A and B are shown apart, each in its own frame.
Chain A
Amino acid sequence: MSQSDISVFIIDDDELIRDSLEQLIKSVGLKAKTFSSARAFLNTRLADNPSCLVTDIRMPGMSGLELQDELLKRDCLIPIIFITGHGTVPMSVRAMKSGAVDFLQKPFEDQELLDVIHHAVEQNVHARSEQIKIQDLKQRIETLSMREYDVLIPIISGMLNKEIAHKLGVSESTVKTHRARIMQKMAVDSFAELVRAIEKLGIYPVQINSD
Chain B
Amino acid sequence: MTLAKILKMCILLNIIASTFLCPAAKLWAEDNYQPPKRILALFSFKPGLPFNFYIEQSLRSALASDPSFSFILDVEHADQSRFPDEQYRSRIVDLYRYKYAKEKIDLVLAVGNESTDLMLEYAEELFGDIPVVFVTTKSKKLSHSLLKPNRLSIVWGVDLKKTGSIIQDVLPDGKNLFVVSGNSLIGRKLKSMAMESLAELEPQFTIHYLDNLLLPDLLLKTAQLPENSAILFLTFFSDSSGHSFIPQDVVFQVSKTANAPVFGIIDTYLERGIVGGNLLSAEYQGKKYAEISKKILAGESLKNLKFMGAENQTLFNWRQLERWSIDQSRLPAGSIVRYRETSIWEDHKLEVAGITAALFILTFVLIALIIQNIRRRRAELESQRLRDERAHISRVLSMGEIAASLAHELNQPLSAIRTYAQAAQRFLDKSPAEPDEAAKSLSGIVTANRRAEEVIKRIRMALKKEPPVQISVDVKEIISGVKVLVRRKAEEQNISLGFEIADDLPPVSGDLIQLQQVLFNLIINAIEAMTDVADSLHQIRVQVLREKNNAVKIVVQDNGIGVDENKINNLFDAFYTTKAEGMGMGLSISRSIIEEHGGQFRVRRNYDQGTSFSFTIPVYEGENK
Contact = CB atoms under 8 A, between A and B. Distances in A.
Is chain B a partner of chain A in the same complex? yes
Contact of A86 (B217, B423, B491, B497): B491
B204 interface: no
13 contacts: A14-B412, A16-B448, A16-B451, A19-B416, A20-B444, A21-B419, A58-B496, A60-B497, A60-B498, A73-B243, A85-B411, A85-B415, A110-B423
Interface of B: 214, 216-217, 220, 241, 243, 408, 411-420, 422-424, 426-427, 430, 434, 437, 440-441, 444, 447-448, 451, 491-492, 496-499
A23 interface: yes
Categorize the interface residue count of chain A: 20 to 34
Contact of B419 (A23, A43, A86): A23
Contacts of A26: 423, 437
A26 B440 CA distance: 12
Nearest to A38: B216
A86 B414 CA distance: 14
A107 B418 contact: yes
A195 B420 CA distance: 52
B419 A20 contact: yes
Interface string A40-58: 0011000000000000001
B416 A61 contact: no
Contact of B422 (A43, A61, A106, A110): A110
Contact of B498 (A20, A24, A61, A74): A61
Contacts of B424: 23, 27
Nearest to A63: B496
A196 B97 CA distance: 38
Contact of B415 (A23, A60, A73, A106): A106
A164 B422 CA distance: 67
A60 B541 CA distance: 10
Given A14-B412, A43-B217, A27 B437 contact: yes
A23 B220 contact: no
A96 B415 CA distance: 23
B412 A17 contact: yes
Contact of B426 (A14, A21, A28, A58): A28
- Name the residue in A20, A21, A42, A107 with the highest tally of chain B Cβ atoms < 10 Å from its Cβ: A20
B422 A42 contact: no
Contacts of B243: 73
Given A20-B417, A110-B418, 11 more contacts: A16-B416, A16-B451, A20-B419, A20-B448, A23-B437, A23-B440, A58-B491, A60-B497, A107-B419, A110-B419, A110-B423
Contacts of B451: 16
Nearest to B499: A60
Contacts of A42: 214, 216
- 10 shortest interchain CB distances as A-B pairs: A27-B426, A110-B422, A20-B419, A23-B423, A16-B416, A107-B415, A24-B423, A20-B416, A106-B415, A27-B423
Contacts of A39: 216, 220
